[in-house]
Amino acid sequence: MLPNSTRGRTKIRPPRKILSSEVDVEKSWAVLQKAIEEIQHKNASKLSFEELYRNAYNLVLRKHGKLLYDRVEGQIRKCLSEQVRLGLLNKLASSGIDDRQFLQALNKEWEDHLLSMRMISDVLMYLDRVYAKESHLPLIYDVGLNAFRDSVIKYNNNEIGDKIITIIIDYLNRSRLGEIVDKFIIKAVIYMFESLTEVVNIDISSVSGSANYGENYYLHYFEPRLMLSSHEYFEDKSIELLDQRSGVIYIEKVTQLIQDEESRIQMYLPDVSAPKMLELMDNDLISRNLESIMMFETDGLKLWINDDNYTLLQLLFKLITRVDSEHEMLKRRLRSIILENGEEINQLSNEQLEQEVTQKKQEEEKKRIIAEAHGKKLVVRHRSSKEQATRYAIRWIHNFLSLKRKYDLVAEKSFDNNIGILEEIDAAFSTFFNSNNKSAEYLSLFIDDCIRRSLKDKSSDEVEQTLNNCIVVFRFIKDKDVFEKYYKNHLAKRLLQQKSLSSEIEMNMITKLKQEIGSSFTARLEGMFRDIKLSQELSSDFNNRFARQDVGETDAGAEIRQKNHGRKLELDSSILTTSFWPMPINKSMHSIQYPDELQVLKDQYEVFYDIKHRGRNLTWAPNFGTVDIRIHYPKKTYEVNMATLAAVVILKCFNDSEDLRNKHTFEEIQGITQIPVPELKRHLQSISVASRSRLLKKTPMSRDICAGDLFEINEHFKSPQTRIKVLTVASGSKVEDDLQRSETMEIINKSRIMETEAAVVRIMKARRELKHQELINEVIKQLLNRFKPQPSFIKQRIEDLIEKEYLKRDEKDRSIYQYLA
Amino acid sequence: MAYGRRRRQNQAQGSEDVQGPSSALSAFLREQGINADSVRLRYEDNVRREQEMIERQQQLEQEQQEQEQQGQEEQGQSGNILNDNLTDIGEASGLDSDEEVYEGDDKNDTEVALIKERARAKRRRVDGNDAAGFNADHGVGKNYCIECDKEFAISVYSKKMEKYGRVGYLCPSCTKIAIRRERLAKRNEIEARKKRKKIAAALLDKQAFRLPSLQDFCIKIITENINDVDLLGDIGVNNRKKISRILAKKRSLDSKTMRLFLEPSLRELEFWDCSKIDKAALGQIPAICPKLESLTLNMCGHLHKDNMLYYGEKLTNLRYLDLNGPFLINDQIWQDFFDSKVGKNLTAFHLRNTHRFTSDSLVTLLDNIGDQLEELTLSRLDGLDSKGVYDLLPHYLHSIKYLEISYPHKEELIDDDMIVNLMANNGEHLETLILEGCSYLTDQFLVSGLKPFCPNLTKLSLKLLDQITDNGVTQLFTDWNINGGLMDLDLTRCISLTDNSIYKALEHCSQTLVQLKLNSVKGLTKKVFLRLSRNIRFPLLTSMDLGFVRSVDDSVLAILSRIAPKLSILEIYGNSRCSDKAIVRGDLRIIGRETDSI
Amino acid sequence: MSDSDEEKTSPYVTLISNDGYSFQITREAAMISGTLRGMLNTSFQESSTNTIKMHELDSQLLEKVVEYLYYNLKYNELVDVPEFDIPTEMALELLVAADFLDV
C-alpha cells in the first residue's frame, strides 16, 4: 500500500509511555520486596494492590521478568528458611510441646504460607501470565509451594519432614490400637504433603498451573514409610492370629480388621494410597495365610462345610474375593475336600450297610427266638453278597446326592452361586464320581430300585424330585454309553417281569434322559417300551382268539384246550426287537423239548404272528418266561408260578399221572428236556432245593445239583398258601461281579468300536478329505455324548478302516485321509 | 411491508424445494454453500433469522396475553366475518407454522393471530378430532378444562391437549401457562441449537467457544487497520507476538508493517510469513535489532544472499536461527555464512524447504558448529543428496538436544546404521527426535539406537515410518528403564502397529505423556482402550489425535475421557462410529465428529 | 478472602482514572477483569475501600473498559452477540489497558 493512501485517515495512537519512560528497576523491586515482607507478616491491608501490580507490570513489560521472578523466589525462600523453619525447629526442641501441638503449629505455618502465597501471586499476576508461562516456568504460587518443600520440609536432609512422617505414622498405629487421634490434623498434614510436588524431569508448567500431578512429597516420602509400617502391623497381626490355630477366629478377626482398616484408610489417606494399602493388607492378611488356614484339620474349611457354617463360609468367600476374583485357592481347597468326601462316601455307604445288616440280623434273631418259643422253626434267609452289593450301590448314589445337595446349598448361601466355584465343585464331583468305575452301574441300580420299590406311594412332586436328582447324577457320568448299557439291562428286566411301579414313571425317566442328552440315546429305551406295549396288545388279541372257551372257539383254540385237558390256556408273549434289547439270542434254547401243552401254544402263536407280521422271525426265549401250573399233591392242590424252564421239567418229566412215583436222574431230565446244563441246574435247584418251593424231592438231599442226582415228586410238599411262586435264582437287578463286569465292558467296548468307526465314516463321507487332527477332533466332538474316546483309540479305528479300504492316506501328505466311496 | 417480507421468505423457501434435474448438483452445492465463506455467511444469516424469530415470538406472546381478554368479546361481533375471509388467506399462503405468521405491526399481528387460530379450529373440524363437548356448529361452547377441571367457555384460543389419555381443552388461564411453557421450551431449544453450532464452528479451530476478550477486540481492530499504525509502543511481548502472528495469517505482513515489530531492545523476532517482505526490509532487521538472539523467518523466499551475509556480519548475539524456504541462498552463501562470526556462534539451526542447501553446505555447518549445536532441523532439503555426508552426522552433534531430520531427498539417505551410530555417540542429551518421513528406517534403530542410548528423550515423532513394526516398538518400550517417559509421541501413519505395541508404548509413557498422535494407526482395536482403562491413567495427557482409527467409537471416547483427566483436545476425523452420544467430560473438546458439522 | 468479609462487601466499586474521573460500577462487572478481581478479592487496601485508583488509565480509556465490562456481563453466556465497538485510533492504547487489566 502506498504511504499516501493513508493520508486523511485517523492514525492509531501508540500507547503513551507511562510516567518515566525508563523504569527504575531497583526502586520498583524495593516496593515489591517490602510488600512481600508485609504480606508474610500479615500486614497487607495497608498495601495498594494497584501500586504493586503496576510495579510488577512495568518490570515485566520492560523485560525484567526474569529478574523479578528470581528475586521473588529468593525472597520467599529466605523468609521460609530463616523464620518458619527455625521457628518449627525451636518448637521441636522445646519440651513443652507435644506432637499434636507441633503438627498444629506446622499446619498453621503452612496455611499462613498458602495465604500469603495466594496474595503474592495475585499481585504478581502479570508476571505469571506473561513471563512464567512464556518461559515455561512454574507459576509464582507453585514457586512458593516448592520453596516450602525445599526450605522447610526437606531442608537439612529432610529433617522436619522425617519428624512429621514419624509422628503421623505413630498416630495411625495408635489409631489401630483403638486410640482416638486427631483426624483433622492428620488429614491436613497429608493434604500438605500431597500439595508439595516433587521435581519431575519434565517441563510441567506448559501443561497447567495446577500442582496436583505426578509425583509429590506424599508419594515420594510418606507413602513408602506408610507401606512399610503397615506391612509390619499386618504381619504382626496375622502371626498373632495364626498362633491361635483357629480358622474361625482368624476369619472373623481378619474380616473385622479389614473393615476397620478400610474405614481408617478412607478417613485419613488420600485416594492414591487406598488401592495400594488394600492390596498390601489383602496380601498380608489373606493371600499369604488363608489357604493354610483353610487346611486346618481341626478348624478348617472341611469342618465348616461339614457343619453347614454358612455365615463363616460367606466371610471366607468375601475375603478371598478381595484378593482373587477367580477364587483359585478356594477352588483348590474345595476340590481336594470334595475328593476326600468322595472317599468318605465309599466308607460311609459301607458302614450304613453293615449297620443295616446288623440291625436286620438282630430283628430276625428276635423273630427266630419268638418263633422258637412258639415251637416253630423259622428259616432265616440271608442275603446274598450280591444283594448286599446292590444295597451298597443304592446307598452310594444316595449319599452322593446328599453330598452334592450339601455343596449346592453352601454355594448358594455362602458363595453367591459364583459360576466359577460351581463349575469347580461340579468338576470335583465328576472326578470322584468317575473314579469309581462302577458309578454308572450304581446309578442305574439306584434308578431301578426307585422305579421298582422306593417310589411307591410317593407324591408326584417327590417322584419328580427323585428323578431330577437322578439326572443330576447322570450329568456327572463321563461314559454315557456304559450307563446306557446297564440301564437297558435293568429296564429290560423291569419290563419283562413287570416290576415297574408304573409305566408313567418309566416314561418320565426316559423323557428326562432324552431332554438331557438327546433322542439318539433313548431311542432304544423307547423301543423297548414300545415293544412291551405292542406285545400286550398282541397277547390279548391272541388270547381273545384262541383261548376263548365258549362260542366262536376256533379250531386251534379247541386244540389247545384239548391239550390242556379241557381247561383254558393263555399265553402272554413279549415280542422283543433284537436290536433294542440287551439279551442275546440264546441258541442253546432252540432245541428244548416243550411239553405238548406249551408246544401247541407255541405253534399256534407262530401261525398267529406270521399272519400279523409276515416274514418276521420269532426266536423263543423261554429262559425269561414263567408258567402258572396247578399241581395236585395228595393232600392239597397248589397253583404254582414258576420259570418256564422249571415248568418244562415238571410237565415233561413228572406229569405222567400214571406213574406218579416216577424218578428221573439229572441226565435223564436233561435228555428229555434238552435244557442246557447250567440252566437246568439252576431251575432244578429252585424247585428241589429252595425250602419253600421244594416241589421235587432230590436224592441225595444236598444243596448242589450234581450229575446222577435223582428227582421225584415231593409228595410231602406242604405250604400254607395255595398260590406259590417259585423264585428263580438271580432275578431282580444286582450288582455285577467282576467277571460279569469285564464281560459288560467288553460288550461296551465292541459297541464303542462300532460307534467310532461309524462316526469316522460319517464324517469322512461328508468331508471327503481331512487332516488327521481335524478328524480326531470331529470324532471326539460327535461321540462326546456317549463317551470320551482316546485319540489313540480313534487312531486304531482309522487304521482298521484304512485296512478295510474305507479310507486311504493321501499319497503326498500322509497326515491327510481320503474317503473311498 | 409485512406482506412483502413474507413473500420474500416464501420465495426463498420455495427455491429450496425446486431442484431441476439438470442442475441438481450445482443447486445443491450452492445451497449447501460448499465454500468456507458462504458457510459462514449462511450460518450467520441463520443465526440472525433465528434471533428475529425469537424476538417476534416474544412480542407475540405479550400481545396474545393482551388479546386474550379482548378476544372473546370481539369474537361475537366481528370474529365470524374475519373467520371466513381470513382463513382462506391463511391457508392460501401456506401458513402452517407459528413463526411465519407473526410479522408486521401490532394490528396485523392481532389479525394474524386470529387467523391462525381459526385455521387451526377449522382444521380440527375437518380432521374430525373433536373433543367431547366441542360443538362443531358454534365453535364456542361450555367445556371443562382438562388441566384444572374448571368450567369455561371454549374459544378459538383454547388450547387443545392430551392428558391422561384424554383429549380436551384448557381454560384461558391454563392455556396461558401452557403457551408460555411451550414458548420457553422452544426458545431454549433454539438457543441451545445455536450454541451447538457456534461450538462446532469453534471446534474447527480447536477452540472452545467463548466471548472475545477486550484484547481480542483490540487486536482485531489493530490488525485490520495495521496500515494506520505508525508505532506499536509498549504493548507487551505477548501482544506483539499475537499481532505479528495474526498479520502473518491474514497475509498482511509486509515490508512496511514488519517494521512495527522492530525495536532496538528486541532479543527475539519471528515472522511467520515473509513472502511480502522484500530484501530491503529484511536488511533492516540487524540494523534496528542488533541484540537479536533468536530469529525465525518463515516463507522467506525474498531472503537475499546480501541479507544473509549482512546477518552474518551484524547479528553478533544470534544463537537461534530458523529459516523456512530461503531458496535464494545458494551453497556458496551458506558456506560463507557458517564461516562468518555470527554463523560460528549459532547453537540452534533450523532449516526447511530449500534445494540450495547442499552436501557441501552441511559439511561447512558441521565443521564450524557441529559440536556446539543443541538444535538442528534438516527438513525437505532436496539438495542434500549424499549419504556420505549424512553419515558424518554421528561424528558431530555432541551437544544435540533437539534433532529433526525429515522428508529427506531420498529415503535411503537416512538408514538405521546412521541413526544408531548417532544415538550411540550423541544420544545422551537428546530430548527431541523427529524423523518424519524417513521411511527407510526399520525396527533396528528403535531397538539398537533409541532404547540403549536415549535416557532424556521426551519427544519422539515417527510419523510415516511404515516399516517399523509391533516387534520393534514393543521392544523399545518394554522395560525402557533408562528413559523416564515421553511427553510427546507421534506415530501417525505407522500403519504396521497394532494393539500390543501401542499398549506397551502408552504404558511406558502414561505418567508423562502430554500429546499423542495415533492418526491412521489402523490396526488399533477397541481392546487396547479397554485394557488401558483397566490399568492405566494419563494424568498429563492434554491433546490426542485418533483420526482414522476406525475402531474408535463412543465407548472409547468415554474411556479416554475418564482415564485422561486433563485431555482437552481429541481429534477423531474419519471415525464414523463416534457420535454426539458419547459420554465425555464437559471440558473435553472432540474434534471431527460427523455429527458436529455446521 | 472474599467470603470472609461478606457483610461489608458493597455491591459497587469505584474506579478512578488518572485524570480524576470516577466510575462507579457493579462489583460483578469489575470481577470480569482478572486484575480487578485480584484487587478486590485479596485483603489489600482496595478491598476495604472498594475504590481503585487506576494510575495507568485516563478517563477516555477507562470509560471504554467499563463499557466492555458491562458488555461482557451481558453477553457472556450468550452465543449470538454484537461486535464490541472500538474507535480505531484508540485500539493500541486500549490494548495496553486491556492487557493491564487482564480482560
Q: How confident is the model at residue A384 (pLDDT cuts 50, 70, 90)?
A: low
Q: Cβ of C89 under 8 Å from any chain A Cβ? A: yes
Summarised one tens digit per residue, pLDDT across range C29-86 is 999 999 999 888 878 888 888 899 998 889 999 999 999 999 999 888 777 778 899 9
Summarised one tens digit per residue, pLDDT across range A89-114 is 888 888 788 888 899 999 999 999 99
- Which three-class secondary structure state does DSSP give residue B276? coil
C34 vs A contacts (CB less than 8 Å): 125
pLDDT value of position A269: 87
The alpha-carbon gap from C42 to the nearest alpha carbon of chain B, in Å, equals 24
pLDDT value of position A495: 83
Of the candidates B348, B461, B453, the residue with the CA atom closest to the CA atom of residue B407: B461
* Stretches in chain B below the pLDDT threshold 50: 1-23, 33, 71-107, 126, 128-140
All cell numbers assigned to B489: 509421541
Write down the CATH superfamily of domain A330-518.
Cullin Repeats (1.20.1310.10)
Q: Cβ of B245 under 8 Å from any chain A Cβ? A: no
Angle between the N-to-C axes of helices A49-61 and C34-41, in degrees from 0 to 180, rounded to the nearest 10: 140
Torsion of CA B243, B244, B248, B250, to 10 degrees: 20
DSSP A268-286: HS-TTHHHHHHHHHIIIII
CB within 8 A of A510, min separation 6: which ones? A522, A525, A526, A529
Summarised one tens digit per residue, pLDDT across range A144-179 is 988 998 888 888 888 889 999 999 999 989 988 888
The alpha-carbon gap from B232 to the nearest alpha carbon of chain A, in Å, equals 6
What does the domain layout of chain A look like in residue ranges? 16-215, 224-325, 330-518, 625-725, 738-819
Pairing of strands B268-271, B294-297: parallel
Q: What are phi and psi of B517, to 5 degrees?
A: -125, 120
Q: How confident is the model at residue A245 (pLDDT cuts 50, 70, 90)?
A: confident
Range A338-376 burial, b when 16+ CB lie within 10 A, else e = beebbeebeeebeebbeeeeeeeeeeeeeeeeeeeeeee
B229 vs C contacts (CB less than 8 Å): 92
Of the candidates B579, B589, B519, the residue with the CA atom closest to the CA atom of residue B549: B519
Subunits with 3+ C-beta pairs closer than 8 A to C: A, B
All cell numbers assigned to B274: 515473509
What does the domain layout of chain C look like in residue ranges? 3-101
pLDDT value of position B110: 56
In terms of pTM, does the model score above 0.90? no
% of chain A surpassing 70 pLDDT: 90
All cell numbers assigned to A122: 495475585
B50 vs C contacts (CB less than 8 Å): 80
Of the candidates A279, A88, A92, A106, the residue with the CA atom closest to the CA atom of residue A196: A106
pLDDT value of position B118: 61
Q: Which candidate from C43, C46, C56 shows the least CB-CB separation from A54? A: C56
All cell numbers assigned to B63: 400481545
| CATH for the stretch C3-101 | 3.30.710.10
Question: What average pLDDT does the segment A695-722 reach?
Answer: 82
Query: How far is residue A376 CA from its own chain's centroid?
Result: 57
Q: Cβ of B247 under 8 Å from any chain A Cβ? A: no
pLDDT value of position B555: 92
pLDDT value of position B120: 61
Angle between the N-to-C axes of helices A183-195 and A99-123, in degrees from 0 to 180, rounded to the nearest 10: 40
Subunits with 3+ C-beta pairs closer than 8 A to B: A, C
Of the candidates A653, A675, A678, the residue with the CA atom closest to the CA atom of residue A664: A653
Interface contact flag, B218 C65, Cβ < 8 Å = no
| CATH for the stretch A625-725 | 3.30.230.130
Which one of A14-18, A500-504, B217-221 scores highest in mean pLDDT? B217-221
B511 vs A contacts (CB less than 8 Å): 214
| CATH for the stretch A738-819 | 1.10.10.10
Q: Which candidate from A10, A48, A57 shows the least CB-CB separation from C46? A: A48
The residue ranking higher by pLDDT, A816 or B203, is A816
- Which three-class secondary structure state does DSSP give residue B376? strand
Give the separation between CA A593 and CA A612, rounded to whole angstroms.
Answer: 26
CB within 8 A of A279, min separation 6: which ones? none
Summarised one tens digit per residue, pLDDT across range B470-520 is 999 999 999 998 988 899 999 999 999 999 999 999 999 998 899 999 999
Number of Cβ atoms within 10 Å of the Cβ of A234: 23
Interface contact flag, B194 C65, Cβ < 8 Å = no
Instruction: Please state the ipTM of this predicted complex.
Output: 0.91
Say if residue A731's pLDDT is above 90.
Answer: no
Assign residue A773 a region (left: φ > 0; alpha: ψ between -120 and 50; beta: otherwise).
alpha
Q: What are phi and psi of A588, to 5 degrees?
A: -65, -15
> The cell 374430525 sits on which residue?
B128
Count the alpha carbons within 13 Å of B237 in the hemisphere toward its beta carbon: 24
B51 vs C contacts (CB less than 8 Å): 80
CA diameter of chain A: 163
Cβ within 8 Å of C, A 55-84: 57
Task: Kindly tell me the burial class for residue A431, based on how many C-beta atoms sit within 10 Å of its own C-beta (0-12, 13-18, 19 or more).
Answer: middle
Residues A468/A512, Cβ–Cβ less than 8 Å: yes
Same-fold call for A16-215 versus A330-518 = yes
Mutate which of B227, B241, B292, B481 to disrupt the A interface (most A C-beta within 10 Å)? B227
> The cell 527431541 sits on which residue?
B432
Summarised one tens digit per residue, pLDDT across range A272-325 is 888 888 889 888 888 888 888 888 877 888 888 888 889 999 999 998 888 888
Q: Where are the alpha helices (DSSP H) in A628-694?
A: 644-653, 666-673, 677-688
The alpha-carbon gap from B350 to the nearest alpha carbon of chain A, in Å, equals 20
pLDDT value of position B32: 52
The alpha-carbon gap from C91 to the nearest alpha carbon of chain A, in Å, equals 7
Number of Cβ atoms within 10 Å of the Cβ of C76: 11
Any idea what the Cα angle at residue B315 is, between residues B280 and B286, rounded to 5°? 30
DSSP annotation of A379 reads P
Number of Cβ atoms within 10 Å of the Cβ of B420: 22
Q: Which candidate from B198, B211, B218 shows the least CB-CB separation from C95? A: B218
Of the candidates C93, C97, C86, the residue with the CA atom closest to the CA atom of residue C36: C97
| CATH classification (class only), A16-215 | mainly alpha
Lowest mean pLDDT among A42-51, A185-194, B50-59, B348-357: B50-59
Interface contact flag, C92 B218, Cβ < 8 Å = yes
Interface contact flag, B232 A14, Cβ < 8 Å = yes
Interface contact flag, C93 A13, Cβ < 8 Å = yes
Q: Cβ of B238 under 8 Å from any chain A Cβ? A: yes
pLDDT value of position B6: 42
pLDDT value of position C48: 84
Interface contact flag, C99 B51, Cβ < 8 Å = no
Residues A160/A168, Cβ–Cβ less than 8 Å: no
